[in-house]
Structures are given as C-alpha cells and as structure tokens.
Amino acid sequence: EPEVTQTPSHQVTQMGQEVILRCVPISNHLYFYWYRQILGQKVEFLVSFYNNEISEKSEIFDDQFSVERPDGSNFTLKIRSTKLEDSAMYFCASRGRYNEQFFGPGTRLTVL
Amino acid sequence: KNQVEQSPQSLIILEGKNCTLQCNYTVSPFSNLRWYKQDTGRGPVSLTIMTFSENTKSNGRYTATLDADTKQSSLHITASQLSDSASYICVVSAMYSGGGADGLTFGKGTHLIIQP
C-alpha cells in the first residue's frame, strides 16, 4: 500500500541553524501539507501546497518557513533560522482527488 | 472560531472492555469529521471519515457516530486490544470555496491506555 515517507526521522540542530525536512508524498496525489505537533499538544496546520504553490498557510508559517517541491517526488519544509520553540514533530501529509489525507511518520526536530 | 473539544483527555481500560470517546465541535460550515489513531511518535492514521449525511460508520472494532445537529461525534471501540493503546484524534473539516486547503481543525486527542 502506498504511503507517505519522511526523512530524517529525528533531526537535532543548534538554534539559529537552517534545517530542511523532507517528504515523499504518495505518487499521483495533488495536495500536500505540513503540520507540526509540539510535545503533548495537538496537531497544528502549517501550510498546504497545490499546483506548485502555497494554497493556504497558518499564522505559524512565518517568513522563517518555506516549502518547495523541487522535483516530481519530494516536498520539503525549510526552517531558515531555528528557534527553541520550533522543537516539535513535523508531519507531512498528502491527498489525492478525494478528501482523505494520508500522514507520514513524522520528523522529530530538536533545537538545542 | 472553529474548535474541536475531546473528552476524556485520557482513559485507562482493561483489555477486552469497550469504551467510547467523545468529540464536540463548533466548525462551520461543516464538511466532514474524521477520527484518527496516532501511535506514540508516529503520524495519525485515518479510522473513519463521515460527511453531514452519515450518522454512523464502522471500521472493524471501531464505530463512529455523528450528530450534525448537536455537533457531536463519538468513537466506540469494542473488545479493546493492547494495540489499541494510542491517542485518538477527532478532526473536523470546514468547507472552503477553493484553494486546495481542507480547513481541518484538530482536537487535542484522547490518550487511551489498554491494560492487560
């Protein structure tokens, strides 16, 4: 069964450093999403992406964040200058023509 | 403001017992409601999706109900197993006119622990 994959599973970085989180959505899916989940809190929407551009973003998704689909398979989330409060699980999701989003296993980002 | 409230926050039951998790929402205009299971350190996995016209849907030992009038949903787990230990998240989608965004509002989840 096709699934969303994410790499790395765990990323440790120093405050102020740039990180890139990678996702491979399910092939033939059209909509892509990034979410984050701070430990013990609920999943929060960051951004959605369709037709090679951002279709919606939350107030969390400020200028420090960017997304890109550099080729036909990868979907990346870049955090330019990480802060301590960026420590969280980051989930990628994709969906096809119908309504259901499929989530990846997540990347745990730890900012020291 | 769109909100999803879940109860209880956590629940411990013995293996083999049944349980019911609750979800109340204020999302408008309503599109659909989903229940996800999230194992610790993993991404959410969809259990059920219900639209306005559906008031019950089953997936194996999981049965979800929806009352669109009172804006409440429940997830009933029958004959619980140790592998059911996880967080169960209620997610409600609002209708948007376009843009490809699903307008999802997530609940905080119910943390379920099944004890042998």
CA distance A17 to chain B (A): 24
Across the interface, of B32, B99, B108, the residue whose CB is closest to A99 is B32
- Give me the pLDDT at residue A101, please: 86
3-class DSSP assignment, residue B82? helix
Q: What confidence tens digit (pLDDT) does each residue in A6-63 have?
A: 999 999 999 999 999 999 999 889 889 999 999 888 899 999 998 889 988 888 999 9
One-letter-per-residue 3-state SS of chain A: CCCCEEECCEEEECCCCCEEEEEECCCCCCEEEEEEECCCCCCEEEEEEECCEEEEECCCCCCCEEEECCCCCCEEEEECCCCHHHCEEEEEEEECCCCCCEECCCEEEEEC
The Cα angle at residue B103 between residues B97 and B104, in degrees rounded to 5:
155
Residue contact A106–B41, C-beta within 8 A: yes
Dist. CA B86–CA B83, nearest whole Å: 8
Q: What confidence tens digit (pLDDT) does each residue in B21-63 have?
A: 999 999 888 888 999 999 988 889 989 989 888 999 999 999 9
* Of the candidates B89, B88, B84, B85, the residue with the CA atom closest to the CA atom of residue B107: B89
- Give me the pLDDT at residue B52, please: 83
* Of the candidates B18, B13, B11, B15, the residue with the CA atom closest to the CA atom of residue B82: B15
Residue contact B43–A99, C-beta within 8 A: no
Q: What confidence tens digit (pLDDT) does each residue in B92-103 have?
A: 988 764 444 467
- Give me the pLDDT at residue A98, please: 67
The Cα angle at residue A17 between residues B106 and B44, in degrees rounded to 5:
20
CA distance A54 to chain B (A): 9
Residue contact B41–A89, C-beta within 8 A: yes
CB B13 within 8 A of CB B32: no
Dist. CA B32–CA B53, nearest whole Å: 9
Is residue A52 less than 8 Å (CB to CB) from chain B? no
